[in-house]
Amino acid sequence: MARSSGIRGSRIGAGPMGESERGNSVERIVVTFWCADGHSTRPVFAATAAVPEVWDCHGCGRPAGLDPDDPPGAALVAPFKTHLAYVRERRSDADAEILLAEALTKLRNTR
């Protein structure tokens, strides 16, 4: 059985080296965001960073704001549409009949 010469359970960069080797850590702040369901989400930001007014709730995925008494409303999400639904928005039934007739004519002429 081969033995490794490294210390078991350690990796490069691990250990009690601290800030002197990695540099000073930046000052951080914790900001609480509230969603309409009452969930709170607490991301950490650099103290110098611009804090957004809206953040996604980690509990339900809805938008969360800084004011617990006035959380943002749910984002409007368009329902899923199939390719056929988009085609029907662009083409009328009369257009579809014309295209179908042209395609059938072309198909019959190639036989």
Phi and psi, residue 88, nearest 5°: -65, -30
Render pLDDT for 2-54 as a digit per residue (tens, 0 to 9).
555 556 666 666 666 555 666 678 899 999 999 999 999 999 999 999 999 99
Residue 51 half-sphere exposure toward CB, CA atoms < 13 A = 16
What pTM does this model have?
Answer: 0.51
Domain layout of the chain by residue ranges? 26-65, 78-111
- At 87 the pLDDT is 85
* CATH class of segment(s) 26-65: mainly beta
- State the SS3 of 47-72: CCCCCCCEEECCCCCCEEECCCCCCC
